[in-house]
Amino acid sequence: MDTLARALELGVTFWDTWDAYGPHRNEELIGKFIRGRRDKFVIATKSGIVRTPSDPTRREINGRPE
């Protein structure tokens, strides 16, 4: 969180994320950080990759907003 806070202090407000960077960890971290200050950021994301915990090689696309 310290890195994200420092980025915001420096004026970095365009954040690019994608759940393919890690199984939803990136989105969870950023979501926690921006909670209550969402209007300060522009968030770019590509698509939702659905992973199957029992088979990490299996992936599907999920485009639902949630």
Q: Residue with structure tokens 């960077």?
A: 21
Q: What are phi and psi of 42, to 5 degrees?
A: -110, 120
Among residues 5, 16, 21, 62, the one annotated as catalytic is: 21
21 is catalytic: yes
**Structure-block tokens of residue 47:** 């698509």
Q: Which residues are known catalytic residues?
A: 21
